[in-house]
Chain A
Amino acid sequence: AQSVTQPDIHITVSEGASLELRCNYSYGATPYLFWYVQSPGQGLQLLLKYFSGDTLVQGIKGFEAEFKRSQSSFNLRKPSVHWSDAAEYFCAVGARDTGRRALTFGSGTRLQVQP
């Protein structure tokens, strides 16, 4: 079975500082990987996705993520955080070959941005 671990429940950064949110997955083959963002009271919006190819993936709002197979990680990064980035971030994994069509999500990381 696939699983996702987001070890940081809550992160606080200053506006303009860099950001890295950690994600580790467990899956027997090469997974599909996603990062979603959820603003308060809203649904989830896709930030970026990795299916194959270049392991550094660019997304919306200036975010990027790097797939590292050797570490089973897919960490999300942003070089300079804006106050509007305050939200909850979810990493998710999708299966290529098990027939499970639903994404499996981590428990989320809540980002707080200080002025």
Chain B
Amino acid sequence: DVKVTQSSRYLVKRTGEKVFLECVQDMDHENMFWYRQDPGLGLRLIYFSYDVKMKEKGDIPEGYSVSREKKERFSLILESASTNQTSMYLCASRDGQGLTEAFFGQGTRLTVV
């Protein structure tokens, strides 16, 4: 089974802190994604990566950055956390050129106080 693992289920951080959300996949997928999920808005794409050290902005990249130093690992970074970044964050991976579904981690619920 494909497994996408996010390092934390719940996080509470203070405003202004630098926050790292980690994601690891075990299926050698080329593509990895970070989504943000908010009630009534569905999933919105923050960033994605199609190869090691390669990244592209998604639909809502402001306030976030990412890092992909190894193929299996994709990190989301909140440079200076703000209360409006309180949300559920979902990591996903997908193989090749898009002829497959995306596989999701269990999500990280981040609260910024």
Contacts and interface: CB of A to CB of B under 8 A. Distances in A.
Given A107-B40, A107-B41, A101 B101 contact: no
B60 interface: no
A83 interface: no
Nearest to A45: B104
A25 interface: no
A102 B33 CA distance: 7
A21 B7 CA distance: 33
Interface stretch (B11-19, B61-69, B73-81, B92-100): B92-100
A41 B105 CA distance: 11
B43 A105 contact: yes
Interface size class of A (residues with CB under 8 A): 20 to 34
Nearest to A107: B42
Nearest to B106: A43
B45 to A, nearest CB: 5
Contacts of B99: 32, 51
B106 A106 contact: no
A46 B41 CA distance: 19
A101 B42 contact: no
Interface stretch (A11-19, A62-70, A73-81, A88-96): A88-96
Contact of A43 (B40, B41, B44, B104): B104
Interface in A4-43: 4, 6, 9, 32, 34, 36, 41-43
A87 to B, nearest CB: 14
Interface of B: 4, 9, 31, 33, 35, 40-45, 48, 50, 58, 90, 92, 94, 97-99, 101-107, 109
Interface of A: 4, 6, 9, 32, 34, 36, 41-46, 49, 51, 90, 92, 94-96, 101-108
